[in-house]
Structure formats: C-alpha cells, structure tokens
Structure 1
C-alpha cells in the first residue's frame, strides 16, 4: 500500500462504485502511483484505497492492473491521433499543421497532471494486452511521417526525420521527470519550433505560431 493511501477519502462500494467519476478516480489514483511509486510496486489495493473505493469496486471498472495501464496510456495518444488525422487531411501550409500537431501533442504529454509519458519506458508496454496502444502510437507516428513527407523531404530521409521528430515530441516525458520545475509552456513552444526546424522548414515565426494556434482553435471537435 502506498504511503498515505486513502487519506481524506471515504471508501465506496455498491452504487457509489458505479458513479461516473469512480472510473476516473481510479485512473487519477493509478496515474499518481504508477508515476510515483512505480508500476510494479503499485498494487490494485493501493490504487483502490487512494481512489476511495473498495478493491472489488475497482475490479468492476478494471479487471486487472494492466487494464488500468492501458487506459492511462490511451489518454496520452488518442487525442493527438484524432487531431493528426484532421491536420494531415487539412489544406493549411504544412509547417503550420506540423507546428500545431507538435504543440498539441507535447502539450498533452507535458500538461497532464501526472507524467504518463514516462510509462512508455515500462517493459509492460510490450504486453499483448497493450497491442492497441502500440498500434495507435504507431499510427500517430505515421501521421507525423505524412506531414514530414509533405514538407518535401527526400523519400529516403522521411523515416529518419520522422524518428527524430517523434523522439523530440515524446522527450518531454524524460525532461519533465528529470526537471520537476520545468517551464512546461516554454518547453511546449520550443519543442514545436524544434520540430519545424528538424524537418528543414522555415524558421518558426510569430506569424507561423499564430496561424497554428488559429488552426487549432478552429478545427472541429
């Protein structure tokens, strides 16, 4: 059990376990414990107590600890994947679309309450039960690759340049882990600038950034 687990939270069971916020309470508790105490060291009992639920109630929402991990990881990729699909199909200048995707994606990883991107390094990510997450993450990387290719990169260099871009985007997880006082907003902006530079597009300007923000604000949900 994690130190201080359950402090200030009543236990819930029965009808309370079916509340719409019960599932989210489990995810919030697990995110804190997985990124703090560690995935292997965290038990479902500790998660349930931190969430204010009985362990049996946790299993109502998540049959196994790995299912909780899968749900947390999905939160780190699905919003960006949905955005990427719209941006790839869009008609704005490619540098604007690429900056917008990188900004939103880094922001998703960097602005979350818990540093869930650090969970990508877990050996459990290779589990067969997490195949969907791995496929969605690969689809997101492929979307970056389409934008990289649209920027006019030589075909033989697209894969390498995409690797570099994707690595830069996801590096915020390690940076955030190593520097708890990180200026996240500055990192997000500079990271998006770095992505555009890596692809060899024009030096990011305030006009480009403003256009990307406008694009993000006008895309349909």
Structure 2
C-alpha cells in the first residue's frame, strides 16, 4: 500500500521556472521525487535544498513553501519506506485465520517487499546511510522502524519451529526477517528490479527461516492470496496457469 503523496498547489507569486501547468506534477510530489533521487545518489548531507529546487525547476523559496527544510523532506521519504507496510499489520493480524498463522507473516513480508520494490529511487536505502542514521530525523523515524521489526518478531514467533525458537529470540527473529526482506534494497542498488514473483519468494523464505514445513507454507500462500483483496493488494496474489 503505497501512501499517496499530498498534492499541495503552488501558491501565487511562486511560479516554476520551466514547463507548462498542464504537464507538471504537483510541486510537493516533484520535490519529493527529485530529493529522493539526489539523496540516494549523493547522500542526505551531500544534497542542498538549492540543488533540489534547481532539479525541480523552481525557486528555492518555493521549496520552503512546501517544506520547512531538508529534514522535513527526508522525514516524509523515510515514512514512505516503512509506513505503508506498518499500517497493514493490524489488518493482517485481524483478518488472518488463527488456524493458518503462517499467512500473517507471509503477507507482511510480501507487502513490505513490494513497498521497498516500488518506492521511488530505492529510498529504502536512505535509513541505512550513516549521515541519515546520525540525524535528528532518524531519531524521530526509528520508532516506526522498530515497530515494524517488532511486528515481524511477533508474527514469526507465532509460527517458529521448536529448534529455531531455541536458538533465536523474538527480537532477534524480527531483525533477521527484516534483513531477509531488505534484500530488495540491495537488489535495487545493483540496478535490478524486483518482480512480483521474487517478492513472493522472499515472503516464502521468511517462513522457511522460521522452520515452517512446506505443506504449511503452501497453505499459507493460498490463504494469503484469498486475503490480499481485503488488504487492497490483489496484484500481489500468486498467478497460476
């Protein structure tokens, strides 16, 4: 579930330098898009608001009409990499049948992998960057990342096998599962795209790491496919035949 970016119109007296109104994207969306690209290429500290404004073809003052500064832009981009998945957790836990708890973990991993695969300019890698992690923005964002990791641990603990549970704690399990899904970030950093089938394979891998038997995995996939429409994620269902 990718959150739609807010469409805030450009105010009077703040015209763009180039382009025609009929073909331009909303200013706020364009600022986020260009900032995401520049942050990913040059790093957060290596990018200035002037450079973002120039990339958008607007005056620097116009950028400040939409965002208080560079930290506000970063904060919204970080949210885009985590919040769409996190917001589905409650629905996943409510809708998944208790007799197939594996479907819940599969769904979270699948939706999260898809989120990371589709956010612009691979912005999931931003919260891995040292200059981002040392910023005040990351301190405010980190609880959301921890909440998502905790959700992975909680759903994983519901299905983990005895041998795995004996060696890995819940918090460790959550972090491990997050790392599995974040292979999407590393794959995109190499210039490769993540297909729906690959996202499904990543979600299945999360179940295998927990020691879930193959027959339970197969049942979880079928159950998850039935639940995806309720989550607004029909496009992620397995396509057979």
Q: 1:131 aligns with which of 128, 136, 139?
A: 139
Q: 2:33 aligns with which of 28, 31, 42?
A: 28
Q: 1:163 aligns with which of 172, 175, 180?
A: 175
1:210 aligns with 2:222: yes
Structure 1 residues 106 and 220, CA gap change in structure 2 (3 angstroms): closer
Structure 1 residues 148 and 181, CA gap change in structure 2 (3 angstroms): closer
**Corresponding residue of 1:3:** none
Structure 1 position 220, deviation (Å): 7.0
Structure 1 position 20, deviation (Å): 8.9
Is the 1:110–1:173 Cα contact (8 Å) retained in structure 2?
yes
1:199 aligns with 2:210: yes
Partners in 2 of 1:38 and 1:73 — Cα distance? 13
Q: 1:121 aligns with which of 116, 125, 128?
A: 128
Q: How does 1:33-72 map to 2 (within 5 A)?
A: 33-72=38-77
Is the 1:12–1:54 Cα contact (8 Å) retained in structure 2?
no
Unaligned runs of at least 5 residues, structure 2 = 1-9, 17-23, 234-241
Is the 2:150–2:171 Cα contact (8 Å) retained in structure 1?
no
Secondary structure in structure 1 of the residue aligned to 2:78: helix
**Corresponding residue of 2:3:** none
Structure 1 position 87, deviation (Å): 1.6
* TM-score (normalised: structure 2): 0.76
Is the 1:148–1:162 Cα contact (8 Å) retained in structure 2?
yes
Structure 1 position 15, deviation (Å): 5.6
Is the 2:156–2:173 Cα contact (8 Å) retained in structure 1?
yes
1:88 aligns with 2:106: no
Q: Considering only aligned residues, what root-mean-square deviation do their CA atoms show, in Å?
A: 2.6
Q: 1:105 aligns with which of 101, 112, 116?
A: 112
**Corresponding residue of 1:74:** 79
Structure 1 position 69, deviation (Å): 0.9
Is the 2:160–2:211 Cα contact (8 Å) retained in structure 1?
no
1:151 aligns with 2:159: yes
Between Structure 1 and Structure 2, which shows a larger proportion of helix residues? 1
**How many residues end up aligned between the 2 structures?**
208
Secondary structure in structure 2 of the residue aligned to 1:14: coil
Partners in 1 of 2:80 and 2:123 — Cα distance? 9
